[in-house]
């Protein structure tokens, strides 16, 4: 069945416009409370958020909807998305709600969910919630209403979890690190984790005001971090996104490393330590140079569709533990149930400490192919992506590239965009093909 409200990662949009309105979120949380009530037992639901101004409003509304349905609510306050997944498991909650729009600007927000295992909801549960939303709003009698409480030690619990993700006794003493917290959910916990592990920490973008989340900072805007790493003569820099599930890193020379390069370092280190369980799952967007670098190490590699949900499904199907996207969403299933930026960064730092190597030298075994991305605004991207005329044009360019590159054209799942990616050994050729396909798509869309 087609879902009406849920997208690839919960429900997201501009605050004040459907579906991110108080009325919708009240109906949503009321439905969640009913769906998670089993045999009359009150469910326990956690609510956490990032630092957006709208989080105050949505937190109150969601809390009200849950309590009216008889659910007990525990408020976590501003916490990274992976922290909320972890706390759902350790606090034995039935579900959790995350109020966040990840790397989007402050005026967007979203609602994401975890089940009792700290994993994303399955399709059947999402469909059940949508079905419950079609019923009238329900309120228990006073004797059966839920209660709300606040968990004051949530940050400390998560800090200890992150520290446990590195080998016992490993110290970051002597490592000079710049952290960019994106004025988001990691602003409290990330500096504490790295400081307590012994690193010398310089922090930027850790003064959220409700409006500056992801604003020229974080994993999608790393320029300030790159400059600060050079200015501070730091060993490396780490950038998180607004909700703390994506990471990018910067080496001592100010060069940016994306998710593919970080995954390569983690995979190679795990192979060295003989703890790599199976292979690595990337996505259709993973760089061809990454795939070839893993092949030279005889590490199996598989591509999933874009989205951590699809990566997770393949990892579980293959019984592997490591996967991720170029965006820096990295899954280490032996440590966490969802993408965790702090944990992923620590996995990259382990070989730096244990082998005495720099971030630059650890990444040298991988040579990225030039990759050009074109986003074309069209009315019906899904329809255009299957247009025979466009497919024929793509095939023509693919035959010219042969085994020197690849082309991926797909409709965005969240915006009216056709995403065109061309990758190959020759950057000029790649750019020419990407531009030609973009222009062709615009012409087809206009007729």
Contact between 200 and 237 (Cβ < 8 Å): no
CB atoms within 10 A of CB 98: 30
Tokens representing residue 20 in the block? 């991110």
Residues 6+ apart with CB under 8 A from 361: none
The H or E element containing residue 14 is strand 11-14
Please state, in angstroms and rounded to a whole number, the distance separating the CA atoms of residues 250 and 223: 10
Instruction: State the alpha helices, DSSP H only, in 148-258.
Output: 154-163, 189-196, 223-231
The helices-and-strands tally (H runs, E runs) of the chain is 15, 18
Q: Is residue 327 annotated as part of the catalytic site, yes or no?
A: no
Nearest CA to 130 out of 225, 2, 262 is that of 2
For residue 272, the tally of other CB atoms under 10 A from its CB is: 13
State whether residue 437 is helix, strand or coil. helix
Which residues have CB under 8 Å from 269's CB, separation 6+? 347, 350, 351, 362
354-360's contacts with Cβ under 8 Å and 24+ in sequence apart are: 354/167, 354/170, 358/235, 358/251, 358/252, 359/235, 359/236, 359/249, 359/251, 359/252, 359/257, 359/265, 360/251, 360/252, 360/253, 360/255
Contacts with 436 (C-beta within 8 Å, 6 or more apart), sequence order? 393, 397
Nearest to 99 by CA among 155, 146, 57: 57
**Sign of the alpha-carbon dihedral angle for 215, 216, 218, 221:** positive
Are 131 and 147 in contact, with CB atoms under 8 Å apart? Answer: no
CA gap 257, 237 in Å, rounded: 10
CB 191 within 8 A of CB 219: no
Place of tokens 């060069």: 255
Q: Which of these is catalytic: 100, 102, 219, 445? A: 102
For the packed helices 259-272 and 288-296, what is the interaxial angle rounded to 10 degrees? 10
Could you write out the DSSP letters of every residue in 68-97? HTT-EEEEEEE--HHHHHHHHHHTT-SEEE
| Residues annotated as catalytic (active site), given as ranges | 102
């Amino acid at each position: 069945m087609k879902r009406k409200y849920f997208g690839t990662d919960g429900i997201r949009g501009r605050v004040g416009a459907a579906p991110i309105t108080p009325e919708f979120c009240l109906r949503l949380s009321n439905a969640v409370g009913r769906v998670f009530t089993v045999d009359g037992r009150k469910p326990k639901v956690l609510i956490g958020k990032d630092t957006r101004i709208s989080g105050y409003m949505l937190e109150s509304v969601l809390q009200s909807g849950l309590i009216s349905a008889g659910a007990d609510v525990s408020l976590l306050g501003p916490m990274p998305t992976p922290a909320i997944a972890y706390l759902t498991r350790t606090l034995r909650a039935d579900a959790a709600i995350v109020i966040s729009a990840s790397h989007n600007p402050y005026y967007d927000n979203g609602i994401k969910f975890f089940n009792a295992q700290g994993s994303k909801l399955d399709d059947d549960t999402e469909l059940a919630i949508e079905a419950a939303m079609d019923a009238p709003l329900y309120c228990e009698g006073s004797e059966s209403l839920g209660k709300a409480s606040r968990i004051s030690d949530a940050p400390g619990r998560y800090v200890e979890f992150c520290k446990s993700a590195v080998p016992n006794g490993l110290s970051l003493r002597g490592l000079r690190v710049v952290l960019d917290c994106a004025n988001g959910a990691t602003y409290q916990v990330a500096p504490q984790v790295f400081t307590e592990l012994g690193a010398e920490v310089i922090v930027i973008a850790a003064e959220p005001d409700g409006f500056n989340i992801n604003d020229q900072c974080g994993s999608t805007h790393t320029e300030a971090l790159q400059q600060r790493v050079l200015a501070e003569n730091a060993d490396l820099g780490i950038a998180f996104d607004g909700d703390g599930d994506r990471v990018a890193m910067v080496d001592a020379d100010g060069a940016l490393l994306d998710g593919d390069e970080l995954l390569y370092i983690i995979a190679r280190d795990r192979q060295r330590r003989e703890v790599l369980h199976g292979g690595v799952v990337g996505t259709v967007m993973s760089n061809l140079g990454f795939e070839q670098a893993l092949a030279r190490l005889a590490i199996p590699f598989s591509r999933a569709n874009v989205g951590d949900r699809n990566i997770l499904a393949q990892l579980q199907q293959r019984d592997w533990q490591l996967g991720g996207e170029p965006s820096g969403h990295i899954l280490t299933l032996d440590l966490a149930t969802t993408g965790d930026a702090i944990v992923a960064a620590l996995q990259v730092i382990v070989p730096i400490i244990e082998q005495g190597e720099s971030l630059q030298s650890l990444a040298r075994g991988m040579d990225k192919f030039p990759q050009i991305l074109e986003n074309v605004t069209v009315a019906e991207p899904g329809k255009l992506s299957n247009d025979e005329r466009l497919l024929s044009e793509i095939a023509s360019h693919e035959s010219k590239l042969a085994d020197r590159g690849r082309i991926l054209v797909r409709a965005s799942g969240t915006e009216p965009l056709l995403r065109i990616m061309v990758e190959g050994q020759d950057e000029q050729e790649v750019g020419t093909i990407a531009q030609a396909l973009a222009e062709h798509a615009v012409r087809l869309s206009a007729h």
